[in-house]
A and B are shown apart, each in its own frame.
Chain A
Amino acid sequence: MTISRADVAHLGRLARLELTDDELDHYSTQLDVILQAVARISEVAADDIPPTSHPVPMENVFRPDVVVPGVDRDEVFAAAPAHEDDRFRVPRILDEE
């Protein structure tokens, strides 16, 4: 279980981080160390142990289907990087087609 530079580059793409060469070196070394430290959890025989995703067990928390006022568009746009024609403006999308 070692993390290569290429692994870190792949993870960087998945996580949308434009990592520099230095970072790739640095993080691949550090992640190895961290993973070795946390890997001890695999020592625990836990086949029959259910996973805990919520620390305080609760179920069925719902809200009624009622419309409540949202936020003012202009206030949101004031804190947005770019907007145009009442919409958020984003860079061009390279995609399918």
Chain B
Amino acid sequence: MSTTHDTMPFDQALASFEPVLGLEVHVELGTNSKMFCGCSTVFGASPNTQVCPVCLGLPGSMPVVNAMAIESTIRIGLALNCTIASWCRFARKNYFYPDMPKDYQISQYDEPLCSNGYLDVTVPTDDGPTVVRVEIERVHMEEDTGKLLHAGGATGRIHGADHSLVDYNRAGIPLVEIVTKTIEGTGALAPAVAKAYVAELRDLMRALDVSDVRMEEGSMRCDVNLSLNRPGDGWGTRSETKNVNSLRSVERAVHSEIERQAALLTSGGRVVQETRHFHEDTGRSTSGRSKEQAEDYRYFPEPDLVPVAPSDAWIEELRATLPELPSAKRDRLKGEWGINDFELQTIVNAGALDLVEATIAAGVDSAAARKWWTGELQRTANDRGVELADLGVTPQQVREVEALIASGALNDKLARQVFEGLVAQEGTVAQIVSSRGLAVVSDDGALLAAIDDALAAQPDVADKIRDGKVQAAGAIVGAVMKATRGQADAAKVRALLLERLGVSE
């Protein structure tokens, strides 16, 4: 139950060890009904209201496979360049746990529906983006468990709770598990590769429209397997870090596990084959169940279900439904927008690709669309800790704001206030402009009055300008902008000021 270990600084760890990575990603499919019964999968319903004898594991109930879950899994397999099995079965994974109604999970064991694929991911490096091919071992189907709530303890955590409460609404929701082959040779890039892979998978799931892939709601979850070995040695003992539920955490989990294992190995210790739990708050993991005392899952073919045997015709039908995949789309947009790899990476990292594309499609020019989404809006999203797409600003609204800028009704500074209003849900663009009183002051009289006030307040500066030190004009322009709360056009203020003082550039 140790919670802390000494760690070795990352660079030092990488000088002595090579990391070997493996990633297991669970994706909840966005089907209407559960994997083996007709219960709804809608998130957030009152506890135990989306249950039936099947997903409660009541005696006598029997599973029937959701056709859509099979189709989604095959489409995922095809998008990951996998071989689709011509015949495969479900298997029971037997272990007791109160969140698992039957005390076995219907999963797939040695006959996954999809196997042997790959996903190319683009990883940012100091020398520019580089493409890493992550090989996929298997993609298989299984069912989710119920949700536990720990009661009676101080923290709401399992430890120290005096009992637990179970909600089976989530039990039986279809899950797809995507398992990579071991990823070797990435060295110091391992954390970035892991993050880029999970991000790419997420984009792929979105493009396929098979899941809402919201990591914060748990509809996409990642387990990180990692071991270290000295160059030339065989693989080391691996740990499995569970509960890694954001892109940032994937990167941090790999990073911290490399530091932890390196310190252990260097100090003569050994890595224990175990399950570890990642903690979002500390960015570190703690030790869980040791695999040496692990369960014997006693897999065997699920006798209540018959084999799945997709015909070639069915597979081809599904292949025909595949959308443009994210990597192809990025290549296309890079060309269309005339941007380089770095610019593309900035957009991708911001999660802004689709938003920029939609904004351009709405009629905004490429540079302006990119500027807003990867600048102001991304900063706001980061500050608020939300995904860019969930910020509450739409491509259509960006178009409206841009149109107001083009007509001279707004400047960039005022536009930022409009976006602030949109994020705060103050209404439409027009309503915010009106209620916040946002409009460029174009009345010369008002501006001249403000200029005169500023000149009077700073007579020494006024004199300098009159003496031809035009660069001093900035101080007066700044004072005028301040006085008009940014609602003036700075260039126009400068022109009026110089004219007023009879000075030319």
Contact = CB atoms under 8 A, between A and B. Distances in A.
A52 B163 CA distance: 43
Contacts of A42: none
A20 interface: no
A26 interface: no
Interface in B110-168: 148-152, 157-159, 161-168
Contact of A65 (B69, B151, B167, B277): B69
A62 B66 contact: yes
A87 B38 contact: no
Nearest to A68: B38
29 contacts: A14-B295, A16-B96, A54-B307, A62-B65, A62-B67, A63-B65, A65-B32, A66-B32, A67-B38, A68-B52, A70-B39, A70-B51, A70-B55, A73-B49, A73-B51, A76-B48, A76-B58, A77-B48, A84-B151, A88-B48, A88-B165, A90-B98, A93-B148, A93-B161, A95-B158, A95-B289, A96-B275, A96-B277, A97-B277
Contacts of A70: 37-39, 49-52, 55
A63 B306 contact: no
Interface string A63-92: 111111111010011000000111111111
A38 interface: no
B89 A92 contact: no
Contact of B32 (A62, A67, A87): A67
B48 to A, nearest CB: 5
Given A87-B47, A88-B166, A96-B275, A65 B68 contact: yes
**Which 3 pairs show the lowest CB-CB distances between chains A and B?**
A68-B38, A96-B288, A65-B68
Nearest to B54: A70
Given A62-B65, A68-B38, A96 B158 contact: yes
A93 B49 contact: no
A61 interface: yes
A79 B83 CA distance: 46
A91 B53 contact: no
Contacts, number: 138
B308 interface: yes
B157 to A, nearest CB: 6
B361 interface: no
A43 to B, nearest CB: 23
A60 B33 CA distance: 18
B303 interface: yes
Contact of A92 (B48, B66, B87, B161): B161
Given A88-B166, A92-B162, A97-B286, A65 B66 contact: yes
A59 B159 contact: no
Contact of B40 (A54, A67, A88): A67
Interface in A25-74: 53-54, 58-71, 73
B166 A90 contact: yes
Contacts of A92: 152, 161-164
Interface string B292-310: 0001101011010111111
B21 to A, nearest CB: 22
